[in-house]
Structure 1
Amino acid sequence: MKLSAQEEYGLRCLLRMASRGDEASLSIPEISRAEALSVPNVAKLMRLLRMAGFVKSVRGQAGGYTLAKPAKQIYLGDVLESLGGKLFGAKFCVRHSGLNLVCVHNPDCSLRSLWIALQAMFERVLLNVTLADLLQSEGSMQDFLESRNRTLIMPEPVMDKAASIVS
């Protein structure tokens, strides 16, 4: 699985803005230079982020984009969903049905259960990490994620089920 370039670059633009402070304003060319992205690509990303309510724009010479709310209130799951949707949305299996209109595994699909479980794990992590959390150094972020690993990624009921499957 991969994040799309749009999701990665959108997060980078937001992180750049957050690193300047909640009230700082950056123009599209400034973001473009700082992130080594094309101006048209940054313009598209900022439009999407503005429409999703993560940034606001101000016109004029002193204008630019600012975060619409504090970085500690911007959750990565919400950002990624606005830029590209869920990894495994409700119509995931419909899009991958093969030559038929309905997947041949439709009545009893173990893969669908896996996709639903993975989506829930992604959401548990991404809806508990904010843009402000990403302002840490890489080492601090690793420590932060490891400290939350047990409760976010594999809560007890899921771990118990996984252990019973293996034994």
Structure 2
Amino acid sequence: MKITSQEEYGFRILLRIARCKENESMSIQALSVAEGLTMAYVAKLTRLLRKAGYINSTPGNIGGYVLARPASEINVNQVLKSLGGALFSKEFCGTYSGAMRFCNNSVDCSVRSLWQMVQFSIDQLLDKVSLQDLIGTEKKSENLLSNLFQAHLQLLKDAEAVAL
């Protein structure tokens, strides 16, 4: 599995905007320099983020982009899905049907079960992370995410115990 460049760079741009001080914005040029991306690519990514409702543009000479809502209200899972989509969705099987109109495994597919479980696990973890959780240092984020992951593992163990 890979995270696309659009997801990675789009998310990094959103995070950089989130780190701006109150009443500050970042221009496409400033984002381009800060992330080492072309201005055209930054413009494309900011357009996607703006259409998804995560950022707003500010007009004027010192205009740029600001968060459309507080970082604590921006869910990481939803941001990544708006930039590239889910790893697995209901349309997945139709996309990989080979030369046939329908997948020849559409009735009984053990692989589909795997992708559904992977997507479920990713959603469960990323739904608990906000943009605010990632604004601090790497160490702070690492601690927070480690705690979330440990809690996620405990929930899975508890669910497994109940199922048995």
Both structures adopt the same fold (TM-score exceeding 0.5): yes
Summarize deviations over 1:107-153 as a string: whole Å, max 9, x none: 11111111111111111111111111112322222221121213335
Give me the whole-angstrom Cα distance separating, in 2, the residues matched to 1:100 and 1:158.
Answer: 42
Residue in 2 that maps onto 1:8: 8
1:144 aligns with 2:160: no
Letter in 1 for 2:25: S
Aligned counterpart, 1:66: 66
- Of stretches 67-76 and 57-66 in structure 1, the one that deviates more from structure 2 is 57-66
2:94 corresponds in structure 1 to 94
> What amino acid maps onto 2:109 in structure 1?
C
Q: How does 1:18-167 map to 2 (within 5 A)?
A: 18-21=18-21, 23-152=23-152, 155-156=155-156, 160=160
- After TM superposition, give the deviation of residue 157 of structure 1 in Å: 6.0
Asked if the contact 1:75–1:128 (Cα under 8 Å) also holds between the matched residues in 2, the reply is yes
Report the number of matched residues. Answer: 163
> In structure 1, how many angstroms separate the alpha carbons of the residues matched to 2:157 and 2:24?
43
Unaligned runs of 5+ in 2: none
Gapped regions of structure 1 (runs ≥ 5): none
More displaced, 131-140 or 59-68? 131-140
Identity of aligned residues (%): 42
Q: Give the RMSD, CA atoms, in angstroms.
A: 2.0
User: Would you say the 8 A contact 1:121–1:154 is kept in 2?
Assistant: no
Structure 1 outlier segments of 4+, above 4 Å: none
Q: Alpha carbons of 1:81 and 1:126: their partners in 2 closer, same or farther (altered >3 Å)? A: same
CA distance in 2, matches of 1:45, 1:144: 27
Contact 1:22 1:70 in 2 (8 A): no
Q: Structure 2 counterpart of 1:107, which letter?
A: V
Q: Distance in 2 between matches of 1:153 and 1:74?
A: 24
Deviation at 1:71, TM superposition (A): 0.9
The 1:157–1:91 alpha-carbon spacing in structure 2 relative to 1, beyond 3 Å, is farther
- Aligned to 2:57, the other structure's residue is in SS state strand
Counterparts of 1:112 and 1:22 in 2: how far apart (Å)? 45
SS in 2 for 1:155: helix
